[in-house]
Structure 1
Amino acid sequence: MAEQGWSRPAGAPAKIYARENGVVIRDVTPDLDNFVIEFMLEYFARDEPLNRSVQLTEDPDSLADLITIWNDVLPRRVSLVALAEGSPGSNLEPVSLSNPPTIMGANVLTVNCKSDKKSTFLSQFSGAAFKKVGSLLSQISSLENIFERYGVDHYLDAVGLSVAPISRGKGIGLMLLKARIDLCRDLKIPLTKTIFTAIQSQKLAAKVGFEVLQDKDYDEFKGPDGKVLFPDMAPTKSIQLSVRTIP
Protein backbone atom coordinates (compact mmCIF):
# COMPACT_ATOMS: atom_id res chain seq x y z
CA MET A 1 0.00 0.00 0.00
CA ALA A 2 0.97 3.63 -0.25
CA GLU A 3 1.41 6.17 2.48
CA GLN A 4 -1.46 8.48 1.62
CA GLY A 5 -1.13 12.24 1.61
CA TRP A 6 -4.80 12.97 0.81
CA SER A 7 -7.57 13.38 3.35
CA ARG A 8 -11.18 14.49 3.06
CA PRO A 9 -11.49 18.26 3.59
CA ALA A 10 -12.75 19.17 7.05
CA GLY A 11 -15.44 21.32 5.47
CA ALA A 12 -16.99 18.41 3.57
CA PRO A 13 -19.54 16.76 5.91
CA ALA A 14 -21.16 13.41 5.26
CA LYS A 15 -23.79 13.58 2.57
CA ILE A 16 -26.72 11.69 1.06
CA TYR A 17 -26.21 11.43 -2.72
CA ALA A 18 -29.41 9.69 -3.78
CA ARG A 19 -32.73 8.57 -2.38
CA GLU A 20 -34.64 6.44 -4.85
CA ASN A 21 -36.89 3.36 -4.91
CA GLY A 22 -36.34 2.56 -1.25
CA VAL A 23 -32.55 2.98 -1.47
CA VAL A 24 -30.38 5.67 0.13
CA ILE A 25 -26.82 6.24 -1.11
CA ARG A 26 -24.63 8.05 1.40
CA ASP A 27 -21.07 8.51 2.64
CA VAL A 28 -19.61 5.90 4.97
CA THR A 29 -19.00 7.53 8.34
CA PRO A 30 -16.91 5.99 11.16
CA ASP A 31 -19.93 4.41 12.86
CA LEU A 32 -20.62 2.46 9.67
CA ASP A 33 -17.08 1.16 9.10
CA ASN A 34 -17.39 -2.20 10.86
CA PHE A 35 -20.81 -2.84 9.35
CA VAL A 36 -19.45 -2.17 5.86
CA ILE A 37 -16.48 -4.48 6.45
CA GLU A 38 -18.79 -7.26 7.62
CA PHE A 39 -20.98 -6.73 4.55
CA MET A 40 -18.01 -6.84 2.18
CA LEU A 41 -16.63 -9.96 3.85
CA GLU A 42 -19.95 -11.70 3.41
CA TYR A 43 -20.62 -10.76 -0.22
CA PHE A 44 -17.61 -9.23 -1.99
CA ALA A 45 -15.12 -11.77 -0.65
CA ARG A 46 -17.38 -14.60 -1.78
CA ASP A 47 -19.01 -13.34 -4.99
CA GLU A 48 -16.47 -11.11 -6.76
CA PRO A 49 -15.35 -13.23 -9.77
CA LEU A 50 -11.61 -13.33 -9.02
CA ASN A 51 -12.22 -14.05 -5.33
CA ARG A 52 -14.65 -16.79 -6.27
CA SER A 53 -12.20 -18.32 -8.76
CA VAL A 54 -9.40 -18.60 -6.18
CA GLN A 55 -11.83 -19.60 -3.39
CA LEU A 56 -10.65 -16.70 -1.28
CA THR A 57 -13.19 -17.26 1.50
CA GLU A 58 -11.51 -20.59 2.27
CA ASP A 59 -8.22 -18.80 3.04
CA PRO A 60 -8.35 -17.12 6.49
CA ASP A 61 -5.14 -15.20 5.83
CA SER A 62 -6.62 -13.69 2.68
CA LEU A 63 -9.77 -12.65 4.52
CA ALA A 64 -7.56 -10.98 7.12
CA ASP A 65 -5.71 -9.19 4.30
CA LEU A 66 -8.98 -7.78 2.95
CA ILE A 67 -9.91 -6.52 6.41
CA THR A 68 -6.50 -4.84 6.71
CA ILE A 69 -6.95 -3.00 3.41
CA TRP A 70 -10.50 -1.86 4.18
CA ASN A 71 -9.50 -0.67 7.64
CA ASP A 72 -6.71 1.30 5.98
CA VAL A 73 -8.85 3.06 3.35
CA LEU A 74 -12.19 3.61 5.08
CA PRO A 75 -10.81 6.44 7.29
CA ARG A 76 -10.14 8.46 4.14
CA ARG A 77 -13.92 9.04 4.04
CA VAL A 78 -14.59 8.57 0.35
CA SER A 79 -16.46 5.24 0.52
CA LEU A 80 -20.16 4.88 -0.24
CA VAL A 81 -22.94 2.69 1.14
CA ALA A 82 -26.47 1.87 0.02
CA LEU A 83 -28.94 1.61 2.90
CA ALA A 84 -32.59 0.62 2.90
CA GLU A 85 -34.89 3.63 3.21
CA GLY A 86 -35.97 3.92 6.85
CA SER A 87 -32.99 1.91 8.07
CA PRO A 88 -30.88 3.35 10.87
CA GLY A 89 -28.40 5.66 9.18
CA SER A 90 -30.61 6.43 6.19
CA ASN A 91 -30.95 10.03 7.38
CA LEU A 92 -27.30 10.28 8.47
CA GLU A 93 -28.18 9.51 12.08
CA PRO A 94 -25.60 7.39 13.97
CA VAL A 95 -25.80 3.59 13.88
CA SER A 96 -24.63 1.11 16.49
CA LEU A 97 -24.74 -2.57 17.39
CA SER A 98 -28.06 -1.95 19.10
CA ASN A 99 -29.28 0.15 16.17
CA PRO A 100 -27.72 -1.52 13.09
CA PRO A 101 -28.16 -0.39 9.49
CA THR A 102 -29.68 -2.47 6.70
CA ILE A 103 -26.94 -2.44 4.06
CA MET A 104 -27.97 -3.20 0.49
CA GLY A 105 -24.65 -2.43 -1.19
CA ALA A 106 -21.27 -0.79 -0.66
CA ASN A 107 -18.39 0.66 -2.66
CA VAL A 108 -15.13 0.94 -0.72
CA LEU A 109 -12.98 3.67 -2.26
CA THR A 110 -9.67 5.45 -1.77
CA VAL A 111 -7.68 8.33 -3.25
CA ASN A 112 -4.34 7.72 -4.95
CA CYS A 113 -1.92 10.65 -5.11
CA LYS A 114 1.06 11.18 -7.38
CA SER A 115 3.08 12.18 -4.31
CA ASP A 116 2.30 8.99 -2.39
CA LYS A 117 5.30 7.04 -1.17
CA LYS A 118 4.96 3.65 -2.78
CA SER A 119 5.73 0.37 -1.09
CA THR A 120 5.89 -3.21 -2.30
CA PHE A 121 2.18 -3.81 -2.06
CA LEU A 122 1.86 -7.59 -1.94
CA SER A 123 4.83 -8.14 0.38
CA GLN A 124 2.72 -6.79 3.25
CA PHE A 125 0.19 -9.61 3.04
CA SER A 126 0.23 -13.33 3.71
CA GLY A 127 -2.85 -14.84 2.10
CA ALA A 128 -2.06 -16.94 -0.99
CA ALA A 129 -5.45 -16.31 -2.61
CA PHE A 130 -5.26 -12.59 -1.90
CA LYS A 131 -1.76 -12.38 -3.38
CA LYS A 132 -2.86 -14.23 -6.50
CA VAL A 133 -5.69 -11.77 -7.10
CA GLY A 134 -3.57 -8.80 -6.07
CA SER A 135 -0.83 -9.79 -8.49
CA LEU A 136 -3.25 -9.68 -11.42
CA LEU A 137 -4.74 -6.35 -10.33
CA SER A 138 -1.26 -4.85 -9.94
CA GLN A 139 -0.30 -6.15 -13.38
CA ILE A 140 -3.36 -4.55 -14.98
CA SER A 141 -2.83 -1.27 -13.10
CA SER A 142 0.79 -1.09 -14.28
CA LEU A 143 -0.39 -0.95 -17.91
CA GLU A 144 -1.52 2.66 -17.44
CA ASN A 145 0.02 5.68 -15.75
CA ILE A 146 -3.15 7.54 -14.88
CA PHE A 147 -1.29 10.55 -13.49
CA GLU A 148 0.67 11.12 -16.69
CA ARG A 149 -2.08 10.18 -19.15
CA TYR A 150 -4.61 12.60 -17.67
CA GLY A 151 -2.29 15.19 -16.16
CA VAL A 152 -3.72 14.81 -12.64
CA ASP A 153 -2.05 14.55 -9.25
CA HIS A 154 -4.76 12.49 -7.54
CA TYR A 155 -7.76 10.34 -8.42
CA LEU A 156 -10.42 8.15 -6.82
CA ASP A 157 -9.81 4.40 -6.95
CA ALA A 158 -11.94 1.43 -5.96
CA VAL A 159 -11.25 -1.28 -3.38
CA GLY A 160 -14.40 -3.32 -3.88
CA LEU A 161 -18.05 -2.95 -4.84
CA SER A 162 -20.78 -5.38 -3.89
CA VAL A 163 -24.56 -5.58 -3.70
CA ALA A 164 -26.39 -8.01 -1.41
CA PRO A 165 -27.95 -10.89 -3.39
CA ILE A 166 -31.45 -10.03 -2.16
CA SER A 167 -30.97 -6.46 -3.45
CA ARG A 168 -29.54 -7.24 -6.88
CA GLY A 169 -31.44 -6.20 -9.97
CA LYS A 170 -32.66 -2.97 -8.36
CA GLY A 171 -30.09 -0.64 -9.91
CA ILE A 172 -28.05 -0.24 -6.74
CA GLY A 173 -24.71 -0.79 -8.46
CA LEU A 174 -25.57 1.94 -10.96
CA MET A 175 -26.64 4.27 -8.15
CA LEU A 176 -23.32 3.73 -6.37
CA LEU A 177 -21.34 4.52 -9.53
CA LYS A 178 -23.37 7.67 -10.17
CA ALA A 179 -22.87 8.76 -6.56
CA ARG A 180 -19.14 8.22 -6.97
CA ILE A 181 -19.14 10.83 -9.74
CA ASP A 182 -21.05 13.27 -7.52
CA LEU A 183 -18.61 12.61 -4.67
CA CYS A 184 -15.69 13.42 -6.98
CA ARG A 185 -17.32 16.70 -7.99
CA ASP A 186 -17.96 17.67 -4.38
CA LEU A 187 -14.39 16.88 -3.31
CA LYS A 188 -12.77 18.26 -6.48
CA ILE A 189 -11.30 14.89 -7.48
CA PRO A 190 -10.70 15.06 -11.24
CA LEU A 191 -11.31 11.43 -12.18
CA THR A 192 -12.12 7.97 -10.90
CA LYS A 193 -10.50 4.73 -11.98
CA THR A 194 -11.57 1.13 -11.45
CA ILE A 195 -10.52 -2.33 -12.54
CA PHE A 196 -13.87 -3.92 -13.31
CA THR A 197 -13.70 -7.70 -12.98
CA ALA A 198 -17.33 -8.69 -13.65
CA ILE A 199 -19.44 -8.30 -16.79
CA GLN A 200 -22.28 -6.82 -14.73
CA SER A 201 -20.16 -3.96 -13.37
CA GLN A 202 -18.52 -3.44 -16.77
CA LYS A 203 -21.95 -2.83 -18.31
CA LEU A 204 -22.89 -0.41 -15.51
CA ALA A 205 -19.61 1.47 -15.92
CA ALA A 206 -20.34 1.98 -19.62
CA LYS A 207 -23.73 3.47 -18.72
CA VAL A 208 -22.15 6.19 -16.57
CA GLY A 209 -19.43 7.10 -19.05
CA PHE A 210 -16.36 5.11 -18.00
CA GLU A 211 -13.75 4.82 -20.76
CA VAL A 212 -12.12 1.39 -21.14
CA LEU A 213 -8.33 1.78 -21.28
CA GLN A 214 -7.38 -1.88 -20.99
CA ASP A 215 -9.41 -5.02 -21.76
CA LYS A 216 -7.65 -8.34 -21.24
CA ASP A 217 -9.17 -11.81 -21.58
CA TYR A 218 -8.82 -13.87 -18.41
CA ASP A 219 -7.62 -16.78 -20.53
CA GLU A 220 -4.46 -14.78 -21.32
CA PHE A 221 -3.19 -15.20 -17.76
CA LYS A 222 -1.54 -18.58 -17.31
CA GLY A 223 0.87 -20.15 -14.86
CA PRO A 224 4.22 -21.83 -15.65
CA ASP A 225 2.34 -25.08 -16.25
CA GLY A 226 0.27 -23.45 -18.98
CA LYS A 227 -2.96 -23.65 -17.00
CA VAL A 228 -5.28 -20.66 -16.80
CA LEU A 229 -4.74 -18.90 -13.46
CA PHE A 230 -8.37 -17.87 -13.02
CA PRO A 231 -10.73 -20.61 -14.21
CA ASP A 232 -14.53 -20.61 -14.09
CA MET A 233 -14.90 -16.88 -14.76
CA ALA A 234 -18.03 -17.22 -16.92
CA PRO A 235 -20.05 -15.24 -17.82
CA THR A 236 -17.25 -12.65 -17.59
CA LYS A 237 -14.70 -12.96 -20.39
CA SER A 238 -12.26 -10.19 -19.59
CA ILE A 239 -10.94 -7.76 -17.01
CA GLN A 240 -11.19 -4.04 -17.76
CA LEU A 241 -9.32 -1.02 -16.46
CA SER A 242 -11.62 1.97 -16.92
CA VAL A 243 -11.60 5.67 -16.11
CA ARG A 244 -14.30 8.29 -15.79
CA THR A 245 -13.18 11.91 -15.92
CA ILE A 246 -15.18 14.44 -13.92
CA PRO A 247 -16.16 17.56 -15.89
Structure 2
Amino acid sequence: MTWERPTTIPYPMVWHEFQGPDLGNTDNLVTYRVQDLTPNRFDDMVQHFLDHYLDEEPECVAKGISGDALAKREIIEYWRWCFGRRLTLVCYKDGSREIVGGNLLNVRTAAREDVRKVESEKLNGIFTSNEYLTDTFDVFGHYGVDKYCTAYGMAVRREYRGMGICREMLLARIPMCKAFGLALTSTNFTSAGAQAAAAKAGFRNDFEISYDDLAKLGYTFPNITSRSTKVMSLIIK
Protein backbone atom coordinates (compact mmCIF):
# COMPACT_ATOMS: atom_id res chain seq x y z
CA MET A 1 0.00 0.00 0.00
CA THR A 2 1.29 3.45 -0.90
CA TRP A 3 2.15 5.56 2.14
CA GLU A 4 0.38 8.91 2.35
CA ARG A 5 1.07 11.86 4.60
CA PRO A 6 -1.36 11.69 7.54
CA THR A 7 -4.16 14.23 7.26
CA THR A 8 -3.81 14.86 10.99
CA ILE A 9 -0.42 16.51 10.43
CA PRO A 10 -0.81 20.18 9.42
CA TYR A 11 0.63 21.19 6.07
CA PRO A 12 2.85 23.10 5.84
CA MET A 13 4.81 22.54 9.04
CA VAL A 14 8.01 24.16 10.27
CA TRP A 15 10.09 21.18 11.41
CA HIS A 16 13.32 22.73 12.60
CA GLU A 17 14.78 26.14 13.43
CA PHE A 18 18.44 26.88 14.08
CA GLN A 19 20.89 29.73 14.45
CA GLY A 20 23.58 30.11 11.81
CA PRO A 21 25.94 32.65 10.27
CA ASP A 22 24.44 35.34 8.10
CA LEU A 23 25.50 35.47 4.48
CA GLY A 24 28.20 38.09 4.02
CA ASN A 25 28.56 38.65 7.77
CA THR A 26 29.50 35.38 9.45
CA ASP A 27 29.92 37.11 12.83
CA ASN A 28 26.19 37.81 12.85
CA LEU A 29 23.88 34.90 13.73
CA VAL A 30 20.44 34.70 12.14
CA THR A 31 17.57 32.24 12.36
CA TYR A 32 16.97 29.65 9.66
CA ARG A 33 13.92 27.42 9.44
CA VAL A 34 13.35 24.11 7.68
CA GLN A 35 9.75 23.52 6.63
CA ASP A 36 7.50 21.76 4.16
CA LEU A 37 7.74 22.98 0.59
CA THR A 38 4.42 24.49 -0.53
CA PRO A 39 2.93 24.31 -4.05
CA ASN A 40 3.49 28.02 -4.71
CA ARG A 41 7.26 27.35 -4.56
CA PHE A 42 7.36 24.16 -6.67
CA ASP A 43 8.62 25.98 -9.77
CA ASP A 44 11.21 27.83 -7.70
CA MET A 45 12.48 24.58 -6.20
CA VAL A 46 12.83 23.05 -9.66
CA GLN A 47 14.99 26.01 -10.63
CA HIS A 48 16.94 25.70 -7.39
CA PHE A 49 17.83 22.09 -8.20
CA LEU A 50 18.70 22.99 -11.78
CA ASP A 51 21.02 25.73 -10.54
CA HIS A 52 22.58 24.04 -7.52
CA TYR A 53 22.29 20.27 -8.00
CA LEU A 54 22.11 18.94 -11.53
CA ASP A 55 25.59 20.07 -12.58
CA GLU A 56 27.18 19.14 -9.23
CA GLU A 57 25.71 15.89 -7.92
CA PRO A 58 28.38 13.30 -8.86
CA GLU A 59 26.15 10.72 -10.53
CA CYS A 60 24.15 13.29 -12.51
CA VAL A 61 27.35 14.93 -13.69
CA ALA A 62 28.95 11.62 -14.64
CA LYS A 63 25.88 10.64 -16.66
CA GLY A 64 25.57 14.08 -18.28
CA ILE A 65 21.93 14.46 -17.24
CA SER A 66 21.79 18.25 -17.72
CA GLY A 67 23.01 17.94 -21.32
CA ASP A 68 20.48 15.29 -22.32
CA ALA A 69 17.05 16.73 -23.09
CA LEU A 70 15.12 13.53 -22.30
CA ALA A 71 16.99 12.80 -19.08
CA LYS A 72 16.65 16.39 -17.92
CA ARG A 73 12.91 16.44 -18.63
CA GLU A 74 12.37 13.16 -16.83
CA ILE A 75 14.38 14.10 -13.75
CA ILE A 76 12.37 17.32 -13.45
CA GLU A 77 9.19 15.23 -13.69
CA TYR A 78 10.58 13.04 -10.92
CA TRP A 79 11.29 16.07 -8.73
CA ARG A 80 7.74 17.27 -9.23
CA TRP A 81 6.41 13.83 -8.29
CA CYS A 82 8.43 14.12 -5.08
CA PHE A 83 6.99 17.57 -4.39
CA GLY A 84 3.51 16.12 -4.71
CA ARG A 85 4.22 13.72 -1.87
CA ARG A 86 4.21 16.79 0.44
CA LEU A 87 7.45 15.73 2.14
CA THR A 88 10.06 17.88 0.41
CA LEU A 89 11.85 20.20 2.81
CA VAL A 90 12.95 23.76 2.11
CA CYS A 91 15.28 25.94 4.16
CA TYR A 92 14.68 29.69 4.45
CA LYS A 93 16.46 32.43 6.32
CA ASP A 94 14.07 34.46 8.45
CA GLY A 95 12.88 37.53 6.61
CA SER A 96 13.73 36.13 3.17
CA ARG A 97 11.89 34.08 0.56
CA GLU A 98 15.16 32.95 -1.04
CA ILE A 99 15.55 29.18 -1.10
CA VAL A 100 18.68 28.35 0.90
CA GLY A 101 18.37 24.58 0.52
CA GLY A 102 16.05 21.81 -0.51
CA ASN A 103 15.77 18.10 0.27
CA LEU A 104 13.56 15.75 -1.75
CA LEU A 105 12.05 13.26 0.70
CA ASN A 106 9.67 10.35 0.54
CA VAL A 107 8.56 7.43 2.68
CA ARG A 108 9.70 4.16 1.17
CA THR A 109 7.82 0.92 1.75
CA ALA A 110 8.65 -2.63 0.68
CA ALA A 111 6.44 -2.06 -2.38
CA ARG A 112 8.99 0.50 -3.64
CA GLU A 113 6.29 2.61 -5.24
CA ASP A 114 8.90 5.36 -5.56
CA VAL A 115 10.72 3.46 -8.33
CA ARG A 116 9.63 5.20 -11.50
CA LYS A 117 9.91 3.93 -15.07
CA VAL A 118 11.84 6.30 -17.32
CA GLU A 119 12.80 6.26 -20.99
CA SER A 120 16.21 7.84 -20.52
CA GLU A 121 19.00 5.26 -20.33
CA LYS A 122 21.18 7.74 -18.46
CA LEU A 123 18.62 8.43 -15.75
CA ASN A 124 17.68 4.78 -15.57
CA GLY A 125 21.33 4.02 -14.93
CA ILE A 126 21.19 6.17 -11.79
CA PHE A 127 17.92 4.63 -10.64
CA THR A 128 19.08 1.03 -11.15
CA SER A 129 22.38 1.68 -9.38
CA ASN A 130 20.52 2.99 -6.36
CA GLU A 131 18.23 -0.03 -6.39
CA TYR A 132 21.31 -2.26 -6.41
CA LEU A 133 22.32 -0.66 -3.10
CA THR A 134 18.80 -1.24 -1.77
CA ASP A 135 18.90 -4.88 -2.84
CA THR A 136 22.37 -5.41 -1.39
CA PHE A 137 21.72 -3.83 2.01
CA ASP A 138 18.25 -4.74 3.25
CA VAL A 139 17.23 -1.66 5.25
CA PHE A 140 13.85 -3.17 6.13
CA GLY A 141 15.27 -6.44 7.42
CA HIS A 142 18.32 -4.98 9.13
CA TYR A 143 16.35 -2.45 11.14
CA GLY A 144 13.08 -4.39 11.42
CA VAL A 145 10.91 -1.66 9.86
CA ASP A 146 8.22 -1.79 7.20
CA LYS A 147 8.75 1.80 6.07
CA TYR A 148 11.32 4.54 6.43
CA CYS A 149 12.06 8.09 5.32
CA THR A 150 14.41 8.32 2.36
CA ALA A 151 15.67 11.06 0.04
CA TYR A 152 16.44 11.65 -3.63
CA GLY A 153 18.67 14.69 -3.50
CA MET A 154 19.75 17.65 -1.43
CA ALA A 155 20.85 21.00 -2.82
CA VAL A 156 22.21 23.93 -0.80
CA ARG A 157 22.64 27.28 -2.50
CA ARG A 158 26.34 27.76 -3.28
CA GLU A 159 26.66 30.96 -1.27
CA TYR A 160 25.51 29.15 1.88
CA ARG A 161 27.77 26.13 1.69
CA GLY A 162 30.21 25.49 4.50
CA MET A 163 27.78 26.94 7.04
CA GLY A 164 26.28 23.68 8.31
CA ILE A 165 23.01 24.01 6.38
CA CYS A 166 23.12 20.44 5.04
CA ARG A 167 23.57 18.96 8.52
CA GLU A 168 20.69 21.03 9.91
CA MET A 169 18.40 19.97 7.07
CA LEU A 170 19.22 16.35 7.83
CA LEU A 171 18.41 16.94 11.51
CA ALA A 172 14.99 18.30 10.46
CA ARG A 173 14.04 14.75 9.52
CA ILE A 174 14.00 13.78 13.21
CA PRO A 175 10.90 15.75 14.29
CA MET A 176 9.26 15.03 10.93
CA CYS A 177 9.77 11.27 11.30
CA LYS A 178 8.53 11.36 14.90
CA ALA A 179 5.35 13.13 13.77
CA PHE A 180 4.78 10.54 11.05
CA GLY A 181 5.54 7.57 13.31
CA LEU A 182 8.68 6.58 11.40
CA ALA A 183 11.48 4.88 13.31
CA LEU A 184 14.20 5.32 10.68
CA THR A 185 15.55 7.50 7.92
CA SER A 186 18.00 6.02 5.40
CA THR A 187 19.54 7.49 2.26
CA ASN A 188 22.09 6.65 -0.42
CA PHE A 189 24.66 9.47 -0.16
CA THR A 190 26.79 9.91 -3.28
CA SER A 191 29.12 12.82 -2.51
CA ALA A 192 31.86 13.15 0.11
CA GLY A 193 30.34 16.41 1.36
CA ALA A 194 26.89 14.90 1.89
CA GLN A 195 28.41 11.82 3.54
CA ALA A 196 30.36 14.04 5.95
CA ALA A 197 27.27 16.10 6.79
CA ALA A 198 25.27 12.91 7.40
CA ALA A 199 27.95 11.59 9.75
CA LYS A 200 27.88 14.87 11.70
CA ALA A 201 24.09 14.55 11.96
CA GLY A 202 24.46 11.11 13.53
CA PHE A 203 23.85 8.87 10.51
CA ARG A 204 25.66 5.52 10.63
CA ASN A 205 27.42 3.96 7.66
CA ASP A 206 25.53 0.77 6.73
CA PHE A 207 27.01 -0.08 3.34
CA GLU A 208 29.66 1.44 1.09
CA ILE A 209 30.77 0.53 -2.40
CA SER A 210 33.30 2.28 -4.61
CA TYR A 211 32.32 3.49 -8.05
CA ASP A 212 35.14 1.34 -9.43
CA ASP A 213 33.45 -1.74 -7.98
CA LEU A 214 30.05 -0.58 -9.20
CA ALA A 215 31.50 -0.33 -12.70
CA LYS A 216 32.64 -3.95 -12.49
CA LEU A 217 29.01 -4.85 -11.81
CA GLY A 218 27.83 -2.89 -14.85
CA TYR A 219 26.80 0.34 -13.12
CA THR A 220 29.09 2.78 -14.87
CA PHE A 221 29.59 6.47 -14.06
CA PRO A 222 32.29 7.77 -16.42
CA ASN A 223 34.88 10.05 -14.79
CA ILE A 224 32.87 10.34 -11.59
CA THR A 225 34.51 12.61 -9.03
CA SER A 226 33.20 10.78 -5.96
CA ARG A 227 35.08 7.74 -4.65
CA SER A 228 32.11 5.80 -3.34
CA THR A 229 28.43 5.80 -2.54
CA LYS A 230 27.09 4.95 0.91
CA VAL A 231 23.85 3.77 2.48
CA MET A 232 23.62 5.76 5.72
CA SER A 233 20.85 5.58 8.30
CA LEU A 234 19.64 7.34 11.42
CA ILE A 235 17.45 5.62 14.01
CA ILE A 236 14.74 7.98 15.22
CA LYS A 237 14.53 7.92 19.00
Q: Same fold (TM over 0.5)?
A: yes
State the partner residue of 2:81. Answer: 72
Matched to 2:172, the amino acid is: A
What number of residue pairs does the alignment pair up? 225
For the pair 1:241 / 2:219, whether they are aligned, the reply is: no
Q: Distance in 2 between matches of 1:167 and 1:194?
A: 22
Picking from 93, 97, 100, the partner of 1:104 is: 100
For the pair 1:155 / 2:148, whether they are aligned, the reply is: yes
Check whether the contact 2:18–2:168 (CA below 8 A) recurs between aligned residues: no
Check whether the contact 1:65–1:127 (CA below 8 A) recurs between aligned residues: yes
Structure 2 unpaired stretches of 5+? 21-29
Give me the TM-score of the superposition, normalised by structure 2: 0.87
Q: Where in structure 1 do 4 or more consecutive aligned residues deviate above 6 Å? A: none
Picking from 118, 121, 142, the partner of 1:128 is: 121
State the partner residue of 2:25. Answer: none
State the partner residue of 1:232. Answer: 223
Q: Distance in 2 between matches of 1:46 and 1:152?
A: 35
The structure that is strand-richer by fraction is 2
Q: Per the alignment, do residues 117 and 208 of structure 1 end up closer, same or farther by CA in structure 2, a change over 3 Å counting?
A: closer
Q: Distance in 1 between matches of 2:100 and 2:155?
A: 9
Give me the TM-score of the superposition, normalised by structure 1: 0.83
State the partner residue of 1:41. Answer: 50
For 1:25, what is the secondary structure of its paired residue? strand
Q: What's the C-alpha RMSD, in Å, of the aligned pairs?
A: 2.1
Deviation at 1:24, TM superposition (A): 2.2
Deviations 1:150-204 (A, max 9, x none): 2212110101111111111111101100111221112211101100000011111
Structure 1 unpaired stretches of 5+? 88-100
Q: Distance in 2 between matches of 1:76 and 1:34?
A: 15
Deviations 1:97-144 (A, max 9, x none): xxxx31111001001123x3759x46x212232122222111112112
State the partner residue of 1:15. Answer: 13
For 2:172, what is the secondary structure of its paired residue? helix
